[in-house]
Amino acid sequence: MQAMCRAPNASFWQLTAPDGEDTLRAMHFARVIGRVVSTRKIEPLVGYRLLWIEPTDAEGRPSGKPLVAVDTGSYGDDEWVYYVTSREASLPLRDPFCAVDAAVVGKIDSVDRR
Amino acid sequence: MILARVTGTVTSTHKDPELADYKLLVVQPLAIDGRDEGEEMIAVDRVDAGIGDKVLVSREGTGARQVTGRERVPLQNLIIGVVDRVDFLNQTTGQE
């Protein structure tokens, strides 16, 4: 998916997909809400699970449209995680140039706030 | 790069090995006038920032890989400085 800048009134660090709907956030919170099963896929993705994740805010409340992300470390259902997008998404995979645009890279145990 | 305010710390034990021993913080992006703008996000701290600090966040993975020296670190937001003060032509914000 190619990302492009949103219209001028939007915040400059937000990236949107060409349809203007999806926000491709960078290093954000999400909750694992499901799996995507695919057996016929490109070779670099063989062996990796695909997760449905729903972006959340820093308090765990849903904050955006769900997306599919590669599972790079056996993250489970309903876990609170964080994910990277864009070029960085393929770095944890066997083939660091694999064509993916989102990957879960860690599980959140807790967020401490003042 | 953007300015942001540190609003929390993230505890995460199960994560990508390349992210091991990095401190993760929650940062709230700020508009030019210092108001909160946009969604909070996670950033890796390299300058020992703490909750309440105003920081400079680089949102570019290639630079982050260069700074950390880890070629395959899946990292997009890196705190690269604590902001002491912001000067404009006709005013100053933040503490001296």
Mean pLDDT within A2-25:
47
For residue A81, give the nearest of A96, A90, A91, A70 by alpha carbon. Answer: A70
pLDDT tens across B70-91, in order? 888 999 999 999 998 888 877 6
Q: Beta strands A28-36 and A49-56: pairing type? A: antiparallel
CA-wise closest residue to B58 among A40, A84, A13, A82: A13
Of B8, B13, B61, the CB nearest to A87: B61
Q: Binning pLDDT at 50, 70 and 90, where does residue B93 land?
A: low
- How far apart CA B23 and CA A70 sit, in angstroms, is 23
Chain A's closest residue to B39, CA to CA, is A57
Q: Assess contact for A105 and B74: CB atoms under 8 A.
A: yes
The Cα–Cα gap between A55 and A102 comes to 12
- In angstroms, the Cα distances linking B77 to A18, A23, A29, B40, B53 are 23, 16, 13, 12, 16
Give the integer Cα–Cα distance in Å for A77 and A52: 9
Do the chains contact at B75 and A88, CB–CB below 8 Å? yes
- Label residue B47 by pLDDT band (50, 70, 90): very high
Query: What percent of chain A clears pLDDT 70, i.e. is strictly above it?
Result: 78
B81 Cβ under 8 Å from any chain A Cβ:
no
In this complex, is the C-beta atom of B7 within 8 Å of any C-beta atom belonging to chain A?
yes
pLDDT at residue A6 is higher than 50: no
Q: What ipTM goes with this model?
A: 0.76
Partner residue opposite A57 with nearest CB, options B10, B12, B39: B39
pTM: 0.78
pLDDT at B66 over 90: no
pLDDT score of B22 = 92
